[in-house]
Amino acid sequence: MISEGRVEVLLVARSGDRLDAYVAGNSDLSRVRVQALIKDGRVLVNGQVGRKSERLEAGQRIEVDIPPPEVLSVQPEDIPLDIVFEDRSLVVVNKKAGMVTHPGPGHASGTLVNALLAHAKDLSGIGGKLRPGIVHRLDRFTSGLMVVAKSDEAHQTLSEALRQRKIRRLYLSAAWGHLSESPLEVDAPIGRSKRERKRMAVVEDGRHATTSFRVLERWLGAELLEVALGTGRTHQIRVHLEHIGHPVVGDEVYGVGWERGIGGKARQWAAELHRRVPRQFLHAWSLSFRHPSSGEALRFEAPLPADLRACADWARPE
């Protein structure tokens, strides 16, 4: 089996397999990890840089250069965390709103990664210098459940489960207006906006994205929704809700000014809800997956935090 920090050689036994699938199937690496190595030019086929989708022929020689995990440069910070579950393989954390998941431009410290490094000294290094252990992320102003890997093996297994849609993530969101039907599935590709590069949008050449919505509570000028991710694109829930004309309440990027479009008896109500909501009304409340080592089915729940719960309590009909 292929291991970190070595160059390994594989000999193709049969023709027809894709390069990324063949290397993943004959190693302990996830397909996502293999594709990243191919992109970096670290997988050679008969001495030539391979392409992830190229079809192999029997007898070809594959060289795989696996660099060791990078030494982390992010500093641990003693920041309080809401730990829901923890063992030797992983941590499930209930991230608070306002906390950035990992360091980036403008956020060199104070992130979830900084806090995790102080809490758990043995995070997986696969995510690189800035994203150790991170399997999936939440937007800065989205609260809720995240799973973080503490070992490389757990990271690979969880990342593959995420790719295969075996990790179920449910969100609670308030959206302006009322859906035309419930449940409702949105299947629309997402990519970088052609007009504003800092925004995502539904674009023809974007990446495949599906989201399912179910109405839990009908309010005067908005609804409380349960949202299930079919894929995991950047800002997916927010973009899909904007796309169908029901943006997230309090979303300062994709929902600016939408409360002013609520008419009739609900107009004043919508203005008051907008005044009360402190941030985008989006919370990752349920997380289900199989443990990467034992295979045990795990499910975790985190109810609405106090700031969003207060808004929902006000919005509900008497």
Contact call for residues 280 and 76 (beta carbons, < 8 A): no
Q: Please identify which residue in the block is written with the tokens 């207006």.
A: 177
d(CA 163, CA 276): 37
Active-site residue among 20, 139, 152, 251? Answer: 139
Q: How many CA atoms lie within 13 A of 149 on its CB side?
A: 27
Of 252, 200, 256, 254, the C-alpha closest to 231 is 200
Q: How many CA atoms lie within 13 A of 315 on its CB side?
A: 29
Integer Cα distance of 193 and 201 in angstroms:
5
Q: Does residue 78 have an active-site annotation?
A: no
List, in order, residues 6 or more apart from 139 with CB less than 8 Å away.
235, 238, 280, 282
Burial 219-245, CB ≥16 within 10 A → b, else e: bbbbbbbbbbbebebebbbbbbbbbbe
**Which amino acids are annotated catalytic?**
139
